[in-house]
Structure 1
Amino acid sequence: MPLLLNSLTFLLLLYSLYKLRNAHLLLFDMRDQARSDNASLFRQLEALQGLYAELDLKSSLPPTRDWAASPDFLLEVARHARSARPACVVECSSGVSTLVLARCMQLNGAGSVISLEHDPHYAEKTRLQLRLHGLQDWAQVLDAPLRPHTLSGESWPWYTIAALPAELSIDLLVIDGPPQATRAQARYPAGPLLFPRLAPEARIFLDDAARSDELAIVQRWQQEFPALQLSSRVCEKGCAVLLNAS
C-alpha cells in the first residue's frame, strides 16, 4: 500500500510539473505575441504619421484598419505617386487609398485617379470623402459591379470595365480588390483585363501580397506577362510591386 501511494504521489508530481511547464510555455508565447503585436502597431503608427507628413493633410483620413489598406501600404503607394508623378492611376477597389492618391495628384498638380468599386454604398462613401477633402476634381469612383468574365476557360466575377476610356494608358495600377471571398484568386483578372493597358514603365502595387492566393496570382501574372519585373515592400499584409518593363 505505501508503495502504491508513493507511486501515485510521484505520478501526480510529474503531471503537475508537466502542467507547470505548459503554463510557462504559454506565458512565453503570450509575451512574444504581445511584443510582436506592439512592434506591428508601432510600425503602423509610424507609417500613418509619415503619410500625414508626406501629404500635408489638414483633415483626418478615414480608419485604416479592418478591410482598409494599412498605413504602411498607403505610404509606399503615396511615395511612388509623388516621385513618379503618374498621369493616370487606376484602382481596383476604392476607399482610403482613393483619397491618398487623389491628394498625391493634387500636390503634383497633374494626373487623375479612376477607382473601380463594385459596392454602390461604398462608392458613394468614397465620393463623399473626396468632396469633404476637396479632392473630387482629382479622382472619380466608377460604379463597377462584379460581372462574369471568362478567362483561361474559367468564369471570374470581376469589375465591369466598360466605363473605362478605350484609349486608357495606365501609369500606376493599385490592386486591393475585389474581396477574397468572391472566389479563389479573386484578383487574378486584373492581369488579363488591365495589364494590356499599362504604359511603359508602369507600376502595379498589389496589397495583401503575403496571402497564399496573392502569391499564386503573382506567379500566374509573371508566366502570362514575362516582361513584368517583381519586387516587394515590407508591409503588414505584404506588398508586391511589378514593373512593366516591356
Structure 2
Amino acid sequence: MMDAYAIAALLLLCGYILHKVRHMHILVHTLRDDTRHGNATLFRQLEALQGLYVSLGLRRALPLTRGWAASPDFLQELAAHALDEKPRCVVECSSGISTLVLARCLQLNGAGMVYSLEHDPLYARRTRRQLELHGLSAWATVIDAPLTGQAVGGGQQLWYDCSGLPLVMPIDMLVIDGPPQAIGQHARYPAGPILFPRLAPGAMVFLDDAERPGERAALQRWSLEFPHLDVQSLPCEKGAAAMRWAQAAS
C-alpha cells in the first residue's frame, strides 16, 4: 500500500506532466496559426507583385522586394494612386524599387517627374543604374541628399539636405520611406515640417513602416501640427498610412 508521501509525489508528477502537455498543445496551435498567417502574407505579396507587373507592363524584373525594400503591397498602393491621379511632381524620401515603380507610372501617364532624396551614395548609384536598365532615367532624378542637422520640432535632427530639390512646382505625391530607423526613432518626422508646406492642395502622402513606434509617433505629431491632414491606415505588410493634404480653409 502506497504511503501518503508516495501518493503526493505521484500527484505532483501527474500535474507536472499535464502542465507540459498543455504547454506543448498551446505551442502547436500557435505554430499552426503563425504558419497560416505567414502563408497568407506570402500569398498577398505574390498577388501584389503579380499585379504590379500586369499594371506596369514591365519587361524586366524588378529588384528583390524583401528586407529593407518596400513590400509589393505598398508598391501596389503607390502605383495605383500614381496611375489614377497622375501626379506631375512626385517626391520620395529614399530611393529604390519605389523609384522604378513610380517612374514607370509617370512614363505610362506621359507626364511628370520623380525626385528621390537619397543620403547613401551607393544606393543612389544603384537606383540610377536600375533606372537606366529599365529605360526610365528620363522620368526620375535621384538627388544626392546627405543627412545634415536641421532645426525641426523644437530641436536639431538629422534629415535630408533638400537643397537639390527643385522649387519650381508644388508636390503632388510624397512617399516617406526614409531615412533609416538606425539614425533615430523619430527619423521620419522631419518630412512633415520640411515638406508638407510644399504640398499641392489635394496631394497624397504615403508613409511606409507605419506600425513602428517612431512612425506612429510621427503620425500623431503630424496630425496635431497639420490639421488639414486626413490620415487613413493601409493594410500593408509593414504597416502603411495614406494622408490626403486638404486645402486650407480660407
Structure 1-normalised TM-score? 0.97
- 2:87 matched to 1:86? yes
CA deviations on 1:149-207 (whole Å, 9 max, x unpaired) are 01122111000000111333100000000011111211010011111111111100111
CA distance in 1, matches of 2:42, 2:27: 22
CA deviations on 1:136-157 (whole Å, 9 max, x unpaired) are 1100101101000011221110
1:20 is aligned to: 21
- 2:183 matched to 1:182? yes
The range that moved more, 207-216 or 193-202, is 207-216
1:207 is aligned to: 208
CA distance in 1, matches of 2:9, 2:223: 64
RMSD: 1.0
Q: Secondary structure at the match of 1:105?
A: helix
CA distance in 1, matches of 2:11, 2:199: 73
Q: Secondary structure at the match of 2:188?
A: coil
* Alignment-mate amino acid for residue 65 of structure 2: T
CA distance in 1, matches of 2:16, 2:198: 66
* Alignment-mate amino acid for residue 13 of structure 2: L
2:42 is aligned to: 41
* Structure 1 consecutive aligned stretches of length 4 or more whose deviation exceeds 6 Å: none
Give the C-alpha shift of residue 226 in structure 1. 1.0
CA distance in 1, matches of 2:126, 2:53: 21
CA distance in 1, matches of 2:153, 2:133: 42
1:55 is aligned to: 56
- 2:219 matched to 1:218? yes
1:146 is aligned to: 147
CA distance in 2, matches of 1:11, 1:20: 14
- 2:163 matched to 1:162? yes
CA distance in 2, matches of 1:135, 1:166: 22
Give the C-alpha shift of residue 2 in structure 1. 3.0
Give unpaired runs (5+ residues) of structure 1.
none
CA distance in 2, matches of 1:231, 1:48: 23
2:5 is aligned to: 4
Q: Secondary structure at the match of 2:163?
A: coil
* Alignment-mate amino acid for residue 21 of structure 1: R
Give the C-alpha shift of residue 227 in structure 1. 1.1
1:102 is aligned to: 103
2:199 is aligned to: 198
Give the C-alpha shift of residue 221 in structure 1. 0.9
* Alignment-mate amino acid for residue 216 of structure 1: A
* Alignment-mate amino acid for residue 226 of structure 1: P
Give the C-alpha shift of residue 3 in structure 1. 2.6
CA distance in 2, matches of 1:89, 1:39: 32
CA distance in 2, matches of 1:7, 1:240: 59
CA distance in 2, matches of 1:44, 1:195: 30
CA deviations on 1:70-89 (whole Å, 9 max, x unpaired) are 00000000000001000000
Q: Secondary structure at the match of 1:162?
A: helix
CA deviations on 1:15-38 (whole Å, 9 max, x unpaired) are 111111101111111111111111
* Alignment-mate amino acid for residue 169 of structure 1: P
Q: Secondary structure at the match of 2:167?
A: coil
* Alignment-mate amino acid for residue 212 of structure 2: R
CA distance in 1, matches of 2:188, 2:222: 11
Structure 2-normalised TM-score? 0.96
CA distance in 2, matches of 1:62, 1:201: 31
Give the C-alpha shift of residue 230 in structure 1. 1.2
CA deviations on 1:71-109 (whole Å, 9 max, x unpaired) are 000000000000100000000000000000000011111
CA distance in 1, matches of 2:24, 2:184: 40
* Percent of aligned pairs sharing the same letter: 59
- Give the paired residue count: 246
* Alignment-mate amino acid for residue 37 of structure 2: S
